[in-house]
Amino acid sequence: MRGLAVFISDIRNCKSKEAEIKRINKELANIRSKFKGDKALDGYSKKKYVCKLLFIFLLGHDIDFGHMEAVNLLSSNKYTEKQIGYLFISVLVNSNSELIRLINNAIKNDLSSRNPTFMCLALHCIANVGSREMAEAFAGEIPRILVAGDTMDSVKQSAALCLLRLYKTSPDLVLMGEWTSRVVHLLNDQHMGVVTAAISLITCLSQKNPDEFKTCVSLAVSRLSRIVSSASTDLQDYTYYFVPAPWLSCKLLRLLQCYPPPEDGAVKGRLVECLETILNKAQEPPKSKKVQHSNAKNAILFEAISLIIHYDSEPNLLVRACNQLGQFLQHRETNLRYLALESMCTLASSEFSHEAVKTHIETVINALKTERDVSVRQRAADLLYAMCDRSNAKQIVAEMLSYLETADYSIREEMVLKVAILAEKYAVDYSWYVDTILNLIRIAGDYVSEEVWYRVIQIVINRDDVQGYAAKTVFEALQAPACHENMVKVGGYILGEFGNLIAGDPRSSPLVQFNLLHSKFHLCSVPTRALLLSAYIKFINLFPETKSTIQEVLRSDSQIRNSDVELQQRAVEYLKLSSIASTDVLATVLEEMPPFPERESSILAKLKKKKGPGAVSVNELEEGKREGGELNGGGERGGDSSAIASTPSPSADLLGLRAGPPVTAAAPSAGSLLVDVFSEAGVNDDGFLRFVCKNNGVLFENQLLQIGIKSEYRQNLGRMYLFYGNKTSVQFVTFTTTVTCPGDTLVLEPLIEGGAQVQQVINIECLTDFSDAPLLNIKFRYGGALQNLTLKLPVTINKFFQPTEMASHDFFQRWKQLSLPQQEAQKIFKANHAMDTEVLKAKLLGLGMALLENVDPNPENFVCAGVIQTKAQQVGSLLRLEPNAQAQMYRLTVRSSKDTVSKRLCELLAEQF
């Protein structure tokens, strides 16, 4: 097409953007006149103009005509005209176009033409446009073409990938059927190209319907085995730089990652052999010096390692993989170093290879320091984070801190969070922890989020042994001429509470402390100033000698007449308080902050009670030094006089997590760690037990993720809505949840957008009475690290109660009928909450039974009746709760027609009052 070439060189010769636009407009006018002209255009001209339009569009200009001419070209029987028509449509036609019907007609004709070249063109067009209308028109036809015996290989290849595209856009329109089993057998096809194309389709279908496609596992293994063991020339043109079928090998290994390890011993043996061969080949001298050879070979190696990690069951292979990656860490190819760091990150979370990964710590630290490419450094930081445990935490945190001083802005926030998490999780002595966080604020104050500095304050408040040290350190840090506002916040809070601990030293006498804080006051924002004012009033209590100085400050116009209401109010109130209250009153009002209440309801104690001594998770917890709930809870208290956190919050999350299968507790994965450290306050009481008497609320919340629950029950059926909220601004990748209980497994859409919420619905049917709650396992990737957490879903036997109203007489009659000793369960326990009648009533109603009035002769007591509906049987239950206000104790008695039910109800309820 000469005209086209001339036009293109004209455009290239344009000296300016304006000239180019001028030339294009001229051409557009010309084409428009040709299309509109009276003279019918022949196919060649039409083709040429359509091609010019396409070129103009690809330059980035809008095209609003020519579509019809392109559609006309589709029905030409000249191949090149048809081809240009299809190309134009693939690039330019939107799915909502009105032309779709005409296009679909042309495609239909070509598909039934039995001319393989035309068929392929039509299939390419469907695969390129992939609109819903096309899926509606062809989703039935393409599977037939794909599995028909007489279809040419090239057409099969196009059909397979075309179907894949339609399945991705409109999975509901691609119906599984008889063809699916035949598609799986394409893995055995003689033509390697057909296998290569088909496997992409099979992998995608397997991900969505694993059961229907599970026969593909053994087929894939035998195909892989044949490729891996073939000589480098056996596969002719499918050998790429001496590597046999690298693309297909990678895809086979990827397909296997959709499934657990093969159960059949022979298949598994063959697969392990393949994996070993791949690892062996990595050690052989290269057959070519070309980078293509090593890339293709290593692509297979990395995919094999992914599979080994996915199985996570072959210690020998895991360690070999780790050693191989260790070699790559020092390779001269940046690409290999990058990939090795990335892949090792996942290896670090396997219990089998964690130790092996750790041996490379020096190399990784070196990478963090010396790599010239920020993306490689980021990978190194991720890996350090993943390989961190108690043995190397100090070293890693120190390295990360020093890296933070020069780190790229784009990754600072993430780094800060990581350092804060590691410092807390592996704090052996808390002075180290305090130093680390203060350093963090010093080095990267802008990137230290509220949670991080709240946390350091909570920990200092809750630990007597670190308070003096914290006061001294923060005092020193504040000496710096320019210090970050977050440092002022921490300093104000800590000196206000514990300034007395360092006041003995004349260098940090009360007035020096006050002057130091006040020297920062004017540079701070309103919330920080408010916090400082609270610190000042605390000073008046701690150090009477500062009273007149501070009162003068409070009295100054800039405080007492401040235009900000909050500041003004504080100044007025504090001034008044300091002048009229007696020392005793002042001392009471401004007493040191009590430790965070979580300590009272220690989760550890709870855990021990639940799991008995020696349980893995309890040990783990002690090791991790998370004793007591002191690390939990996150509300700001002191600075803001009105915000005193009062809800006890033993970390529900932590309990829920640890109550999961031991695997979770044992694997020091990054996931559980984030969860532990940042279990927020606000979420009150045990995540699981909190829902015994209610159906809606927040089940779990941490820094990254919030899980809300709404549930409803009727008879023996229930429905639970889980809402997953992503609290970060980053996408979670490969987000999957698994519910394990009576065998049913759910898989969620694998993406949660940043800031987005995803809903999952679980239908529940109670077959028989039960004690163990179903478990919800959540896995996703955030910032390169795999997050893994397991929660107990709050489905308890009482959810299936039907309330039963009955009169006093009936109640006692039935009570007597249930008189066998095993039918009764009784517990006497201390009140955990205030004994408020209304609250108790509300809880009992929430339990699901009928609350019977005027039944018990003692009006203080509560009695309830209900029937638990299960598929297998109905279990009638009666309950009596006797509060003793003086002793702050309760006696709870449950009688049911089934002993396990009485016992379980009693256990559940004993935690509620």
Which residue, 48 or 484, is less far from other proteins as judged by CB? 48
> Which ranges of 112-187 does DSSP label H, i.e. alpha helix?
116-129, 132-138, 141-147, 153-169, 178-184
**Does 242 participate in binding other proteins (rule CB under 8 A)?**
no
Residue with tokens 């809606």: 696
Our measurement of the distance from residue 576's CA atom to the centroid of its chain's CA atoms, rounded to an integer in Å, reads: 50
Radius of gyration of the chain (CA): 35
Rounded to the nearest whole angstrom, what is the least distance from the CB of residue 291 to other proteins in the complex? 9
Name which of residues 734 to 793 contact other proteins (CB under 8 A).
734, 751, 781
What phi and psi, each to the nearest 5 degrees, are found at residue 171? -60, -25
Residue with tokens 């407009």: 25
Q: Which of 13, 25, 29, 79 binds other proteins (CB under 8 A)?
A: 79
**Does 58 participate in binding other proteins (rule CB under 8 A)?**
yes
Taking each continuous run of H as one helix and of E as one strand, the counts in the chain are 41, 16
Q: Where does this chain touch other proteins (CB under 8 A) — which range of 66-74, 152-160, 553-561, 603-611? A: 152-160
Task: Answer yes or no: are the C-beta atoms of 530 and 566 closer than 8 Å.
Answer: yes
Which residue, 78 or 714, is less far from other proteins as judged by CB? 78
Q: Which of 303, 676, 686, 824 binds other proteins (CB under 8 A)?
A: 303
Q: Which of 46, 165, 425, 484 binds other proteins (CB under 8 A)?
A: 165
Angle, helices 510-521/547-555, rounded to nearest 10 degrees? 20
As beta bridge partners, residue 718 has 713, 764
Q: What is the largest CA-CA distance in the chain?
A: 105
Name which of residues 337 to 376 contact other proteins (CB under 8 A).
337-339, 372-373, 375-376
Name which of residues 59 to 78 contact other proteins (CB under 8 A).
60, 62, 78
Rounded to the nearest whole angstrom, what is the least distance from the CB of residue 154 to other proteins in the complex? 6
Rounded to the nearest whole angstrom, what is the least distance from the CB of residue 7 to other proteins in the complex? 8
Q: How many residues bind other proteins (CB under 8 A)?
A: 79
Which residue, 90 or 392, is less far from other proteins as judged by CB? 90
HEC string of 279-339 equals HHHHHCCCCCCCHHHHHHHHHHHHHHHHHHHHHCCCHHHHHHHHHHHHHHCCCCCHHHHHH
As beta bridge partners, residue 740 has 775
Residue with tokens 């008044």: 576
Establish how many alpha carbons lie within 13 A of residue 504's alpha carbon, considering only the half-sphere containing its beta carbon: 3
Establish how many alpha carbons lie within 13 A of residue 46's alpha carbon, considering only the half-sphere containing its beta carbon: 27
Q: Which of 24, 28, 53, 54 binds other proteins (CB under 8 A)?
A: 54
End-to-end CA distance of the chain: 86
Query: Which residues are known binding-site members?
Result: 2-3, 34, 44, 48-52
Which residue, 274 or 593, is less far from other proteins as judged by CB? 274
Rounded to the nearest whole angstrom, what is the least distance from the CB of residue 289 to other proteins in the complex? 15
* 3-class secondary structure, 859: coil
Establish how many alpha carbons lie within 13 A of residue 391's alpha carbon, considering only the half-sphere containing its beta carbon: 7
Q: Which of 28, 139, 186, 197 binds other proteins (CB under 8 A)?
A: 197
Q: Which of 109, 334, 359, 646 binds other proteins (CB under 8 A)?
A: 334
**Does 247 participate in binding other proteins (rule CB under 8 A)?**
yes
In whole angstroms, give the CA distance from residue 119 to residue 804. 69
In whole angstroms, give the CA distance from residue 384 to residue 341. 9
**Does 804 participate in binding other proteins (rule CB under 8 A)?**
no
Which residue, 249 or 649, is less far from other proteins as judged by CB? 249
Q: Which of 147, 161, 275, 474 binds other proteins (CB under 8 A)?
A: 161
Q: Where does this chain touch other proteins (CB under 8 A) — which range of 164-172, 792-800, 844-852, 853-861? A: 164-172
Establish how many alpha carbons lie within 13 A of residue 518's alpha carbon, considering only the half-sphere containing its beta carbon: 18
Q: Which of 23, 32, 108, 124 binds other proteins (CB under 8 A)?
A: 124
In whole angstroms, give the CA distance from residue 556 to residue 549. 11
Which residue, 165 or 895, is less far from other proteins as judged by CB? 165
Task: Answer yes or no: are the C-beta atoms of 635 and 643 closer than 8 Å.
Answer: yes
Which residue, 165 or 463, is less far from other proteins as judged by CB? 165
Q: Which of 75, 105, 154, 180 binds other proteins (CB under 8 A)?
A: 154
Which residue, 197 or 466, is less far from other proteins as judged by CB? 197
Q: Where does this chain touch other proteins (CB under 8 A) — which range of 43-51, 225-233, 414-422, 533-541? A: 43-51
Binding mask 81-110 toward other proteins (x if CB under 8 A, else -) reads: x-xx--x---x---x---------------
DSSP state of 912: T
Rounded to the nearest whole angstrom, what is the least distance from the CB of residue 385 to other proteins in the complex? 16
**Does 238 participate in binding other proteins (rule CB under 8 A)?**
yes
Residue with tokens 């401004």: 590
Which residue, 8 or 889, is less far from other proteins as judged by CB? 8
